[in-house]
Amino acid sequence: MMEQIKPIDTLAEASDGTELVETESGFAVREYYDDPDHDNGVFFDTEYDRRKDAVLHFALWLKVDRFSRPERSFSRFIPTKIAADGKPAMAAWLYLNGGTNAGNRSVVADTLDISEHTVSRYLSSVRDEVAI
């Protein structure tokens, strides 16, 4: 069984219960999902060393009104809701979920056929949608 993270401070909370938290080892986004097997639902935790990456994840969550659980596990595909939102959301998704290339602006730029500078602008624009 995977151990849940232990938040030391909640930085932001979405209306669905999803949280952006600070932990002893960095930051995390705790995505909340309703689950019929658990009365209080379940959290899917994603940890980050850098605050700005956790903020990007949380902002993307708010922007597209949550990810669905099945799509969340197939990180090499861009979920429909994110693709429909446009290139800034797609750049953020690829940046955060690029597998071995996660956090690589160059790979995101090549994938979307845009410049690295444009990737940086897109990531900033998604982050800026959340005041934290």
Distance between first and last Cα of the chain: 32
Name beta bridge partners: 45: 30
- 7, 43, 80, 92, 108 from 22: Cα distances, Å: 6, 15, 29, 21, 27
State which H helix or E strand residue 48 sits in.
Answer: strand 38-48
For residue 109, the SS3 value is helix
Task: Write out the residue range of the structural domain in which residue 37 sits.
Answer: 7-127
Span 30-44, mean pLDDT?
Answer: 80
State residue 69's pLDDT score: 53
User: In this structure, is residue 54 part of a structural domain?
Assistant: yes
Short-list 45, 131, 59, 68, CA closest to 95: 59
Q: Tokens at residue 65, please?
A: 């009104």
Residue 2 lies in a domain: no
In a domain? residue 132: no
Pairing assessment for the beta strands 19-23 and 26-35 based on DSSP bridges: antiparallel
Residue 57 lies in a domain: yes
pTM value? 0.81
Q: How many domains does the chain have?
A: 1
Residue 1 resides in a domain? no
The answer as to whether 111 is a domain residue is yes
- Say which residue, 94 or 65, is predicted with more confidence: 94
Over residues 90-128, the pLDDT tens digits come to 999 999 887 656 788 999 999 999 999 999 999 999 999
